[in-house]
Amino acid sequence: MKIIYSNKYVLFLLVLILCGCTKDSLEQVFIQQPNSFNLAINGDASFNFDIPTGEKLGINGDKVPILSNGLISLHDVPAVNHYLLYYPDTLLKADNTAKFDLPSEQSYNASTVNISSCPLCTQTDNEGLDSVKLQPVVGALKIVVPANKDFGTVSSVSIESKLDNLSGGLNIDAESGKITSIDNASHKIVLKGAIDVSNDCNLIMALPPQTFTNKLNIKLFSPKGYGQCVIDLTGKTIERGKTLEVTLDNVDWQYATYYYGTANSVIVKPGQTSVTVDCGAYFTSSKNYAYENNQAGDERLALSAHQLWNDVAVDFVKDVTLAADKKSFTVNLNGQSGNAVIAIYDKEDPKAEDAKILWSFHIWVTEYKEQTLTTNVKGNTYTILDRNLGATSATPKDNNSVGFLYQWGRKDPFVGTSSYGTNGTAKMYNEDGELSFSTAAGSENVGTVQYSIEHPRTFIKYSRSNSNITTNPYYYSYDWLYYGDNCLWGNPEGYNYPLASTLEKSIYDPSPAGYMIAPNDTWFGITDGTDKTGTAFADAVWDNGYVVTNNNQQWWYPICGWRSRKTGGMASADTNGYYWYSSVNSSSSANATLLTMGRDGINLNSNNSRANSSSIRCVKIIK
């Protein structure tokens, strides 16, 4: 314990000595600094958070480590009469002014404001250090959102005012902790995170102390649409360290998912040297993301289009031109068979550093035929393409018969093997040369549909190794998505074998116009059974893949392997074929359903991780 003398007591001390005061009397005027104290915050429940161990507390310009359980050691802190304590430790500037950028984008916490949005400060003397509490500079607004089980999860919430300042650069009087002014003030803040609205939930955000002068416009964004509401807080007050609570009544929820074009892939005949593709902006109000082609506003239209990659050569794509009305683009080709992926962007220069991909399209230059299967035990009659999606051949053991591989639920392709029956990687090109295969580790930010749209060339490795199938937001082990979505390919209950005529194609389905991903019962026979003998493959012959003879014609199903959920690398292309269905395995399963084939047979009802990438065989849409 360090002891200091207060200057105001020095003369008084001399007088006491001259007057013959005892030792005990003299100790009464000594001011003692404690060895340590524990951090506490002087706020209500919205400010009941812990500052992480290892962070630093500012004390009179020094940066003091925060130890476990919020302990602050004063061993290296000079003993003085007056202490200014503040967090974060950067709050106090060199000129003794205090500044804090209250972010316009805050991270969601279920029960408190986010610590990164809440500056704290207080002043005290030695006698007050033992019981000191840090005072929040800001207050909190808590918005109670009534449950909506249909929407389940909200990814962000925007709060906007016409007049009131909700964020900006706070200039703070360090002595009092009061905000003196706000630089670059914003009338809007956004709360981001995975917010479960399947039950009543609280949205808590930090705001500058103030008395509101008008209404706030609230908008909640979900992968399936949005909810909006207006609340009138005129005359209500935000106070330091206190929470203003309001419940949203009459939230207007609207299903709306925006997309581009009317199909994600376009078939072009070999020899054709140009194709024009619809890339208009649309939205759907379908829970299962069905194509509705409702016109979106022109402000959503693309500003440029450019080749991402192709699997043929540097000169396969000659050029790409966006139409003057921005609702279509034209691709000029060299006439060869092959594949290319074209992206549309939000900037006029697609190579600009801040250019963002809005959507991407697969140009599939190939011949093809259709095969109609016998009506199966579920009452469905399917017509299927004679080749895998992305394949330019249906010849047994030709590497061009392999086609592309897809992560379950994604619309964009990945190249397969470089040589039939091996685990190499096929080459990719753009106008500048050969490209490398791209991967990214799954995470809360990467494992989203939006990230997958903006990064169509990137294989997303699995985001989690465990599942939560009991409460929203649901998530699944070894899924590329951080939070799961069973509806992405438009058939969330395919394990119940719905009539094919009731299915609607999803905007994330990679199939060309008029086709969709094969449902779970596509290759079923006329009796129940999912092994080879009771299915459309009953007479299939193994030839490092399966040759099926039907109506005196041969149909080829190659072994293509898959790309691993863990690395994105090729695996099993020398032994097995895997063909996704459009459905998950069950309502509580982490896996999606697929057909598997190998030398030892065929299983029509297998399942595997959604982050693995497998082949797709398209079926004709039945209406």
Residue 28 is assigned to a structural domain of this protein: no
DSSP string, 145-166: EPP-TTT-EEEEEEEEESSS--
Handedness of CA 308, 315, 281, 366 (dihedral sign): negative
Of residues 593 and 151, more confidently modeled? 593
Is 14 within a domain?
no
580 and 448 assigned to the same domain: yes
- Top pLDDT among 17 and 309 is at 309
Q: Based on the fold, state whether residues 221 and 274 are members of the same structural domain.
A: no
Distance CA 429, CA 238 (A): 57
Same domain, 353 and 437: yes
Is residue 22 in some structural domain? no
Same structural domain, 319 and 220: no
pLDDT of 277: 98
Question: CB-based burial of residue 10 (10 Å sphere; 0-12 exposed, 13-18 middle, 19+ buried)?
Answer: exposed
> Do the beta carbons of residue 407 and residue 460 sit within 8 Å?
yes
In this structure, the answer to whether residues 345 and 294 fall within a common structural domain is: yes
Beta bridge partners of 38: 71
| Three-class secondary structure assignment of 266-289 | EEECCCCCEEEEECCEEEECCCCC
Residue 5 forms part of a structural domain:
no
- Banded model confidence at residue 343, pLDDT cuts 50, 70, 90: very high
Q: Are residues 348 and 416 in the same domain?
A: yes
What is the chain's length?
623
Q: What is the full DSSP assignment across 279-332? A: --EEEE--TT-B---EEPPGGGS-SEEEEEEESS-TTSEEEEEE-TTSSEEEEE
Q: Tell me, yes or no, whether 281 and 222 share the same domain.
A: no
Kindly state whether residue 411 falls inside one of the protein's structural domains. Answer: yes
Indicate whether 308 and 435 sit together in one domain. yes
DSSP character string of 397-464? T-GGGS--BEETT--S-B---SSTTS-----EEETTEEE--EEE---TTTSSHHHHHH-TTEEE--S-
Supply the pLDDT for residue 508.
98
> Taking the CA atoms of the chain, what radius of gyration do you get in angstroms?
32
- Spatial distance between the Cα atoms of 412 and 428, rounded to a whole number of angstroms: 14
Q: Which of 423, 404, 399 is nearest to 415 (CA)?
A: 404
Q: Indicate whether 530 belongs to any domain.
A: yes
What DSSP character marks residue 486? T
Alpha-carbon distance 548 to 387, whole Å? 12
pTM, two decimal places:
0.80
**pLDDT tens for each residue of 566-614:** 999 999 999 999 999 999 999 999 999 999 999 999 999 999 999 999 9
| Cis, peptide link before residue 88, omega less than 30° from 0 | yes
Number of domains in the chain: 2
User: Among 204, 232, 254, which residue terminates a domain?
Assistant: 254
Confidence class for position 26, pLDDT limits 50, 70, 90: very low
Dihedral sign for Cα 344, 402, 408, 353, please.
negative
Co-location of 390 and 445 in the same domain: yes
Which residues, 6 or more positions from 608, have their beta carbon under 8 angstroms from its beta carbon? 578, 591, 592, 594, 614
The answer to whether residues 110 and 202 touch, using CB atoms and an 8 Å cutoff, is: yes
Residue where one domain finishes, among candidates 209, 232, 254: 254
Q: 493 with 587: CB under 8 angstroms?
A: yes
Residue 139: Cβ within 10 Å count: 25
> Does 145 have pLDDT greater than 90?
yes
Asked if the structure places residue 404 within a domain, the reply is yes
- Domain end position, chosen among 254, 289, 309: 254
Q: Give CA separation, 350 vs 342, 353, 435, 537, in Å.
A: 11, 8, 17, 46
Q: What is the span of the domain harbouring residue 451?
A: 258-620
Return mean pLDDT, the chain: 92
Tell me the pLDDT band of 12, cut-offs 50, 70 and 90: very low
Q: In what order do the strands lie in the sheet with 257-260?
A: 257-260, 281-284, 294-295
- Are residues 207 and 335 part of one domain? no
In a domain, 17, yes or no: no
My answer on whether 243 and 270 are in the same domain is: no
Bridge-based pairing of strands 139-145 and 243-247 is: parallel
Q: How far apart are CA 51 and CA 101, in angstroms?
A: 18
The pLDDT value given to residue 165: 96
**pLDDT, average across residues 247-273:** 96
- Do residues 227 and 362 both lie within one domain? no
Q: What is the pLDDT of residues 497-541, one digit of tens each?
A: 999 999 999 999 999 999 999 999 999 998 877 778 888 999 999
Q: Give the containing element (helix H, strand E) for 14.
A: helix 10-18
Q: Report cis status (omega within 30 of 0) of the bond before 473.
A: yes
Q: Which residues, including other chains, have CB under 8 Å from residue 324's CB and lie 6 or more apart? A: none
pLDDT at 128 over 70: yes
